[in-house]
Chain A
Amino acid sequence: MTAYIIRRLLQAIPVLFVVSVLVFALIQVAPNNPLAIYQNNPDISPEDLERLAEQYGLNDPLPVKYLKWLSQTLRGDWGESLTTHRPVFDEIAERLPNTLNLSIIAFVISLIVSIPIGVVSAVRQYSWFDHITTTLAFMGHSVPVFWFGLLLIIVFSVNMQNPLAGTLLFPHAAPLPLFPGGGMTTLGADAPPPLVDRLWHLVLPVTMLSVVQLPQHVRYMRAGMLDVLKMDYIRTARGKGLSERVVTYKHALKNAAIPLVTIIALEVPHLFNGAVFTETIFSWPGMGRLFFDHAQRGDYPVLMGILMLSATLIVVFNLVADIAYAFLDPRIRYD
């Protein structure tokens, strides 16, 4: 197993190298000028711009630029943003907690809700409960995420009022939306107590994100359970006279959860990427927004930092998923 892990990690190095070359070229060939923000500034002359471009190495040929970036990164220095002039590491470290805050809560809620639904749906296959959940899962799978977010705002933020407005919890006088349609905290006076305020702002974005993940989790859990319930050892367990409860929740559930566990491992990297749509709609200052904003400015050190971080996480968690699979299912062996 150790040899397998080492081999996989070694294989990852060329993959990440090629990814970095490709992404670097992709960013560079697109005609975004990081200095564009200065172009309309009358205080900055064309000579200054040229000097800045020279200073940042923007005039270097592409391979030189890439090698500079690579040697810097390999030494552990992620470089400096060309537009905010802050270290890339700080930019990411500032946004990552916001993104994780949102995505982990949504992910956990999605799992807590989907596992029991998937199990019951499989145990009572073709019952009305199963029909309703599979139909809902199908619909959830087909809904455009950002539109669902817009609908949430229309219903809960535009059309519903907070009944507690003006009380201790929500000092702001009515009319106050039931849930806010954007931001992470209340700005200005009359803010609710910090914890309440925080949770209050999380409700809609978390709902949007977890509803996106729910259908897939339910499907996996249901399919896994259906597969296992057909197995001989389940029949054996029933034949031994064990109660249906023990058979379902002790024998079947543990094995049925294996596919879900690997899916969870594969989804972890995406918790870090941030949800561009959710962050855009709810003006949430996370990783997705960071990428989106800097993509339009051609700020390649920041973009490379985000992309390589996420590519590395994807490679690592692919391996974690495979290891988890072998660990949970002794029938699977890697050599």
Chain B
Amino acid sequence: MAQLTPTLALHVGQKNSARYDTLLSIAWRHFRKHRPALAGVAVLALLIFSAIAVPIITNYDATKTRVVEKYQAPSLQHPMGTDGLGRDVFIRSMDGGRISLLIGLTAMLLAVVIGTSVGALAGFYGGGVDNLLMRVADIMLTLPTLFVAILLTQLLRAGVIPFLSSGFVPIVLVIGATSWMSVSRLVRAAFLSIKEQEYIQAARAAGARNWRIILRHILPNALSPIIVAATLRVGAAIITESGLSYLGFGVQPPTPTWGNMLRNAQSEMDYAAWTAIFPGLFIFLTVIAVNYIGDGLRDALDPHHVE
């Protein structure tokens, strides 16, 4: 990509007089044309904004039970009805959304950091290091993810390892630990091809140390597949979180997340279907928005297309 920049810039420069285009502005120009991705950004921004603003504005204690108001159908007062403990489903969804989004983002960061480190080391050093790290990834891929996630959650929750047993720390660790493998393969492949380029040899000849070559010369050029994978991982992490919480292995009530709000939904479906419909709808909306953004970024960051 680094080599492509000058040609692209020159090409664009002929149209835009003397302006020199950065990679970012080129990517943005492509991204802007991807309507579903733009819609995704808008939906996600709105969701994040309401997840933060709604609980503050309404000043509603989402964990307090109000049994007299239980199972009220959607109305003006409770736009998405109330649950079995009389709590407003909409406000709880916004509260839970903040937590679900936070878990999705942090779990993605963890998976990307682990995956990138493993992939970079394996791809750069090759040989024994590569063999060892990729066997570890193979072993992780040989295990049914959900089963391992369930066992790992039990382990962390029990407090065998101090400081990592409460709140949403266990679920973030579990999702991160079970989803870094695809990122590491991607990064390894990028490193393998980039390290053979002439400018890496040039950097080496100029006396750059290994870590400098990895961080300053290879990583920036491997960034676009990482960014795309990271975006898509947010969606996947939110789905995994909601699934584990649904099975009872995620964040524990009364703290709401989109997944654990659905935990009792099945037994209430006969008379209060709204408790099952709305939290899931928010998961669906968020994940589809994130996936469209990822799709748009994939197009925008693809160095092969020139206008």
Contacts and interface: CB of A to CB of B under 8 A. Distances in A.
Interface string B137-156: 01101111011101110110
Interface string B276-297: 1100100110011001100100
Contact of A142 (B141, B160, B266, B287): B287
Interface string B250-264: 000000000000100
B97 interface: no
Nearest to B287: A142
A292 interface: yes
A32 B270 CA distance: 35
B89 to A, nearest CB: 14
Interface stretch (B10-18, B49-57, B239-247): B239-247
A314 B280 contact: no
Interface string B213-255: 0000000000000000000000100010011001100000000
B280 to A, nearest CB: 3
A18 B135 CA distance: 10
A291 B291 contact: no
B239 A153 contact: no
B266 A150 contact: yes
B269 interface: yes
A281 B266 contact: yes
A306 B151 CA distance: 13
Contacts of B265: 150
B157 to A, nearest CB: 8
A16 B142 CA distance: 9
Contact of B242 (A22, A144, A151, A311): A144
A150 B280 contact: yes
Nearest to B285: A142
Interface residues of B, number: 39
Interface in A97-145: 138-139, 141-145
Interface in B111-147: 135, 138-139, 141-144, 146-147
B72 to A, nearest CB: 18
A163 B139 CA distance: 51
B277 A151 contact: yes
Q: Which of B148, B235, B266, B284 has the most CB of A within 10 A?
A: B266
Nearest to B291: A142
Interface stretch (A23-31, A59-67, A190-198): A23-31
A18 B152 contact: no
Interface stretch (A46-54, A86-94, A257-265, A272-280): A272-280
A146 B246 contact: yes
Contacts of A18: 139
20 contacts: A15-B139, A22-B139, A26-B155, A30-B151, A30-B158, A32-B154, A138-B288, A138-B291, A142-B288, A144-B239, A144-B280, A147-B283, A151-B280, A153-B266, A154-B276, A273-B144, A273-B147, A277-B246, A291-B150, A310-B143
Interface of A: 15-16, 18-19, 22-23, 26-27, 29-32, 138-139, 141-147, 150-151, 153-154, 158, 270, 273, 276-277, 280-281, 291-292, 295-296, 303, 306-307, 310-311, 314-315
Interface of B: 135, 138-139, 141-144, 146-148, 150-152, 154-155, 158, 160, 235, 239, 242-243, 246-247, 262, 265-266, 269-270, 273, 276-277, 280, 283-284, 287-288, 291-292, 295
